[in-house]
Structure 1
């Protein structure tokens, strides 16, 4: 599937002369250029590419873009994207992304705002490497831009499409333009609705997980009063209400694998009163789970934008893009991932943003470029709570038997003293809610410019610079409410301490035996155990620890830029060398974290050197685009789930080096082969306070070699691989065009290889996933007289079993790992009509 960006999505995929390499127009440098003339590693896909490959969302694109990754975790709204081994999960709302996301020139701050279905798309461009000059903050790894089909006065730019597939998939979409005033005012309306069952079964509820239930609508106006002026108004609304995401048991902890007689929480949950359903690694590809709470994800995304283009004269053009966006999400997750009623979490987040970009473009014989200003403001309003459920109190008592003798001793003293000494309180009462809310405001402004200096007919020097100033503030409130609990104490001196309490009990017993009153010091030593909720202090999880409220501010400024030298010896060849910088903004941690940790984290900065070549062998019908890169990421923002919370910090440095290849071979007039390959080595160059192994150490007794001191809660990850990222990937796409009678047809087969990965940054040997290969097939049949096309398709046609690049340690269940399976075989038929 060679890309042909800015082709008409509504055109049918009829065969044409495949010996002519396509002229691909991209906007990678915010101006229209031939892809082969752009000194940037960029992949361009057209709307027709998406139709032909039945690519329904951004997650499908990683098959066709080198060194690009997309994945989901606990919920639909917890999505992440990566380029060249660098990315960010959106687990924490205070986090921003390493990959900048743009739709019709408007920045999308939340990565999960880009996961809806791809409908009525003109083009998608994925820019690899830092893009800090033209695209600004949060492009440390690269950027992705989506351009939708604009209104036109063309009488034949409409389409209607229906996709029907297994798991009761039904997706309906349509779009069309309407000329309201000839050559002056045009309107376009498009939308879709998509529904399907999931491929994971929740045996307790009988429902399927990872289903689809989403829809969107977009309305546009294009006003062109003169040849020099155009105004494009876009209003869009999308919503999603799904059961996602299904995590399955990758490693249970019924019994330690290499330590005889060591049993974990799964062994406990098998017994009364829990009678939980426990799965093992052998059940992973049964695609079954059993949960006490169905995971639910809801999203609402809407916005309004206005783009004004004015041709001031032959040399100068003005572009203005104004936008308002609102994004709401609500997630409910069974955070113990079992059908025992232990823990649930609810995350309710609301985001509003306004952006304004103004650019002046200049073109002359020797210089072309632009200068611009960009303003962005955003408000985040978050409410999050973790609540213990009906079985949690019994679970705590059974899982922490070492604490019960102390409570029993206090109860015995209470009985002896006829209640003068109060009894021990419930250590972890069910129905306790650990809630926190956070409100964050941010404002940023940037000035930027990029110029192409045409040194002579062969050489072009590009220079660019951007200055960004940003301010953020956060206020956070934390509370704990439950049976007998009205806020846990924040004073560490009053937290329960077993050693101190045992000493106090001994003194109390001795005093009572001597007929004396116990001292206040002795009574104070056991007092924390007489307050409901004292057991939560022993879980070691920040999610259930008290902490003071927050009121923090962050002020930051960054200078980013680029220098590129392009050599164009002939019409078919471009070689280039570039140096670029980018950054991901610093921020505020919106999670409940330990009071000892700072809620502020610094910006993540990237510096990258790249060399590349783009060459067309026209006589052979071959196009080769290749790049080699070296990137240093400093102050990398790392978040790793440890089973007791998310560890968020500036981790240190990452070194990424690699090579990428995109090649097209027009083998015959009717057959073409497209190849996409990457080799990406992303390793921590310095990461002294990383997360330690959890599951492997529990099962084997072998400590993490990165732990410097025996009791250190952190481990060095120096030299380890960056999690989630395969080192090798390869995609081959073979398309053959033919005719059946007088009807054009085509057959396609895709091969996709993805290398092995670690499922988090800790490189725990038990969180390792093997490489895998997938095959997709398609057969299309076109009926020109009806302007219609039928595509029969299947993804993962051989039903390969694989892990979808993410896993985690389960809360309060040390030694247990959950992971997300890749989708099994799917198949269906697409019916499409143009009009």
Structure 2
């Protein structure tokens, strides 16, 4: 489909000329529609809710061609995404707050809630967006109503319910980067008291990371399909039951490591002017290796299994609503979910062959064609299953609105990990050999909470609101885990030019086997208290203080041990002042917030320098100040201009980190293993990060967009057009502030142009994302001696792509 790109670009140019020629005709100001949200567990007008919220409707998602959760970060300036080697190692953060972890056992700081059901782990957040009615991004602690693990906020997703009349659609889209996406919906009445719906999708996209190894698979592609079915039952005028079931299956090569900067050449190894990483990346040809390193969209992997990453998930839920009387309602939400992931990362990120000793570098792999052992199973199986139950009573009164309830969850997750390390040469053995380990770690969590939240209407213009949630959780951990080997280039003695291998001076230490169980329990609380004042018609001021927490972290990583099995809970406290107002005869919506937030005992994972070992730890605190502004202006009945900007001053406090490679005392590497300042370079192993910027948190981010409908009176269709620009400041991904791992600021330009039948029967849409072809990466790290001095993860959106979407609605 490569031939599509020039043609689509020509159409983009023509459509732009059409837009300019038509212009924006002068019309009377339009009027914005009322937006309903469920941020306080009941339907309310967005402007009446004293919470900073970004709302994306189904129309917004279509205009910006957002079809998966990862792209939400480009639609909301205060929301950021960090890629990982697998879905389970990814992270979302809001206002600079996240659980910066890529190992099992750590609970998220951002809650993702789908139709009232909270997903348990960040890996479940990575999915397609099929038949979504509305997405609400709630910013700041939300623990009172949404429970633990909301120190950053919540992403509240509402899907479309079954309709009372027969309707549906079929949709297909095709892009020039070889994606096919098909979606369909059928909904309607089954009986006088029952309605049902079925949504299905299928996606097939080739990898955007081109593998130059002959016959090798490209990286980053995906083939997935899924379905969601709902049955809406009205037992009476007051009792309704919504039954939902969903399933998703995917095979993907999500995000392999891409070498961006090679390690410095070792002195005289392999020879003056040659670099081990360049030789490895070029499969023996350093010139080819440098070309691969210079192109962030190229990889060179001979492992046929590296892209065999699989995941599947399914869930059932029952949402019962009983309208007891005109003011009192009972709600029950029961859910069961399972999620399975199996990944097979080629950890050393290169085509090392046993015949040449891996070009002098250790070959660190899960079971692959590079590994001389066949008894390691495919990849890293990761799975969880859980049950949740919530009961709520909700009352709406003249002077008091309140919600009270209880919540229970029973959760279990398991991580098995097969790993093989090929050592080209070791004096203790006299020849190359392979060592392998396999972990099997589990944690089980049960939690119970009771909560109350209410709003007291002091007068027609003044509300006082507040709430409290008490939570108890208990965590059990089971270990069957050999400790991983720690190996870096420090032990290199010489390079054997004849055999193209590295000799190591010290024998490799034996692995230590950790077997046993540990348990912990924890009681904590969340709360909020605030006031809202309607100081004039359609304008509100509010002030809120809030607290939330992330539950106990269970360290079931490959370095977990019984002496440090648990991480302390993370707590967050925030103060927010906000304003929500409608101006110019309800044609302009202007919302803003100023906030301060302190986060203590941040839970995170860290990669030990020069190794492939990760550790989970509590990593200091965060001190955050920010300003957010959101605006929508209906400049006519046919056009909207939207803008959102976020400024964040997010700093790390009380944190020591291992020094980055090459860091000197002059650049901050001046702390010894005991945490004391030193002047001896040989004793300095840590750096003081107090006052540094929070990871993956741009100081300034904004987006601005315009959408316009061009009515064509003499034709059977109208033209709908939209342009959106997204920009963010530079970010640093690791906690240690390594200057080489900074992602520079970048901006992305997106576009869509649709021909829409006046009866809304069919749509033909031409779209482009990142049409200015701005390169960026979604994660950056280092592992000198194993992967690279700098390696990055590159998502599909880091280069331009164009497409066409065809949709037919039947009613």
Q: The TM-score by the shorter chain falls in which range?
A: 0.7 to 0.9
Q: How far, CA to CA, are the matches of 1:65 and 1:269 in structure 2?
A: 40
| Deviation, structure 1 residue 267 | 6.0
Distance 2:657 2:432 in 1: 30
Question: Residues 215 and 439 from structure 1, CA distance in 2 versus in 1: closer, same or farther, beyond 3 angstroms?
Answer: same
The alignment status of 1:756 with 2:759, answered yes or no, reads no
1:512-559 CA distance string (max 9 Å, x none):
xxxxxxxxxxxxxxxxxxxx998333xxxxxx8424323111110101
| Residues 575, 280 of structure 1: alpha-carbon distance in 2 compared, 3 angstrom cutoff | farther
1:623 is displaced (CA, Å) by 1.2
What residue is the counterpart of 1:357 in the other structure? 390
Counterpart for residue 66 of structure 1: 77
Give 1:808's aligned residue: 781
Aligned-pair distance for 1:571? 2.8
Which residue of 1 is the match for residue 602 of structure 2?
A: 636
Q: CA deviation at 1:287?
A: 3.5
1:766 is aligned to 2:733 = no
Q: Who is 2:626 aligned against?
A: 658
1:235 aligned onto 2:235 = no
Aligned match of 1:454: 457
The residue number in structure 1 matching 2:21 is none
Conserved 8 A contact 1:123-1:148: yes
Taking a change above 3 Å as real, the CA distance of residues 426 and 318 of structure 1, as seen in their structure-2 partners, is: farther
CA deviation string 1:109-142 (max 9, x = no partner): 1212122111111111110000110011110100
- Return the alpha-carbon distance in structure 1 between the equivalents of residues 211 and 540 of structure 2: 54
Change (3 A) 1:256 1:783: farther
Which deviations, in whole Å up to 9, do the C-alpha atoms of 1:432-462 show, x marking residues without a partner? Answer: 2111111211100000000101111111011
Separation in 1 of the partners of 2:113 and 2:282? 51
Cα displacement string for residues 609-646 of structure 1 (whole angstroms, at most 9, x for unaligned residues): 00000111133721111001100000111222234222
1:328 has 2:301 as partner? no
- Aligned partner of 1:393 in structure 2 is 423
> Contact conserved, 1:247 with 1:820, CA < 8 A, in 2?
yes
Q: Secondary structure of 1:175's match?
A: strand
Given that 1:106 and 1:323 are in contact with CA atoms closer than 8 Å, whether structure 2 keeps it comes out as yes
Instruction: Name the CA shift for 1:724/1:426 in 2 (closer, same or farther; >3 Å).
Output: farther
Q: Which residue of 1 aligns with 2:371?
A: none
Partner of 1:692: 659
Alignment match, 2:498: none
SS at 1:39 equivalent:
coil
1:780–1:272 distance in 2 versus 1, CA, 3 Å: closer
Q: 1:328-376: CA deviations, max 9, x gaps?
A: 1001001111111512132101111000000000121100011000000
For the structure 1 residues 17 and 795, does the alpha-carbon distance in structure 2 shift closer, same or farther, using more than 3 Å as the test? farther
Match of 2:436 among 409, 433, 436: 433
1:180 corresponds in structure 2 to: 190
For 1:20, what is the secondary structure of its paired residue? coil
Listed one character per residue, the Cα deviations across residues 259-316 of structure 1 (whole Å, up to 9, x for unaligned) are 9979864267479989896346961345344353524321110011000000111221
| Change beyond 3 A, Cα 1:173–1:241 | same
**Using a 3 Å threshold, how does the CA distance of structure 1 residues 786 and 38 change in structure 2: closer, same or farther?**
closer
Which of 257, 260, 265 pairs up with 1:247? 257
Distance 1:279 1:724 in 2: 28
CA RMSD of aligned residues (A): 2.9
Q: Does 1:824 align with 2:799?
A: yes
In structure 2, the CA distance between the partners of 1:279 and 1:704, relative to structure 1 (3 Å rule), is farther
The equivalent of 1:413 in structure 2 is none
Matching of residues 551-630 of structure 1 within 5 Å: 551-593=517-559, 598-619=564-585, 621-630=587-596
Residue 145 of structure 2: aligned partner: 134
Q: Take 2:331 and 2:430, find their aligned partners in 1: how far apart are those partners?
A: 64
Instruction: Provide the rounded CA distance (Å) in 2 between the counterparts of 1:252 and 1:227.
Output: 68
Could you tell which deviates more after superposition, 279-288 or 339-348?
279-288
Aligned twin of 1:373: 406
CA distance in 2, matches of 1:545, 1:718: 35
Q: Mean Cα displacement is larger for which, 448-457 or 292-301? A: 292-301
Deviation, 1:764, is 0.5
Q: Secondary structure at the match of 1:87?
A: coil
* Helix, strand or coil at the partner of 2:204: strand
Q: Partner of 2:210 in structure 1?
A: 201
| Structure 2: stretches of 5+ with no match in the other structure | 1-26, 354-362, 367-378, 492-503
Q: Distance in 1 between matches of 2:439 and 2:409?
A: 27
For the residue of structure 2 that corresponds to 1:462, the secondary structure is strand
How much has 1:608 moved relative to structure 2? 0.4
Q: Is the 8 A contact 1:83 1:99 kept in 2?
A: yes
Equivalent residue for 2:357? none
Q: 1:281 to 1:661 in 2, by over 3 A?
A: farther
Counterpart of 1:766 in 2: which secondary structure?
Answer: helix
Alignment partner of 1:244: what SS? Answer: coil
TM-score by length of 1: 0.83
Partner of 1:667: 635
Count of residue correspondences: 731
| Counterparts of residues 307-322 of structure 1 (less than 5 Å) | 307-322=319-334
Change (3 A) 1:610 1:289: farther
The match for 1:190 among 199, 202, 205 is: 199
Shift of 1:428: 6.5
Deviation at 1:706, TM superposition (A): 5.9
Residue 365 (structure 2) aligned to one of 344, 356, 373: 344
Whichever of the two has the greater Rg, that structure is 1
Q: Do structure 1's residue 744 and structure 2's residue 718 form an aligned pair? A: yes
**Correspondence 1:682 to 2:650:** yes
- Is 1:477 matched with 2:480? yes
Corresponding residue SS for 1:313: coil
**Per the alignment, do residues 620 and 583 of structure 1 end up closer, same or farther by CA in structure 2, a change over 3 Å counting?**
closer
Q: Is the 8 A contact 2:446 2:474 kept in 1?
A: yes
CA 1:436–1:664 in structure 2 vs 1: closer, same or farther (change >3 Å)?
same
For the residues of structure 2 that align with 1:271 and 1:202, how far apart are their CA atoms? 12
Contact 1:198 1:209 in 2 (8 A): yes
Q: Is the 8 A contact 1:264 1:815 kept in 2?
A: no
Q: Which residue of 1 aligns with 2:131?
A: 120
Indicate if the aligned counterparts of 1:337 and 1:810 stay in contact, CA closer than 8 A.
no
Aligned to 1:12: none
Q: Shift of the alpha carbon at 1:596?
A: 9.5
SS at match of 1:88: coil
Query: Which of 728, 733, 755 is 2:700 aligned to?
Result: 728
In structure 2, distance between residues paired with 1:75 and 1:479: 22
Is the alpha carbon distance of 1:262 and 1:439 closer, same or farther for their aligned partners in structure 2, counting shifts above 3 Å? farther
Are the counterparts in 1 of residues 260 and 296 from structure 2 also a CA contact under 8 Å? no
Query: Corresponding residue for 2:370?
Result: none
Q: What is the DSSP-based 3-state SS (H/G/I as helix, E as strand, rest coil) of the residue aligned with 1:150?
A: coil
C-alpha distance in structure 2 between counterparts of 1:281 and 1:270, whole Å: 7
User: What's the counterpart of residue 716 of structure 1?
Assistant: 688
- Checking the alignment, whether the CA contact within 8 Å between 2:549 and 2:570 is kept in structure 1 is yes
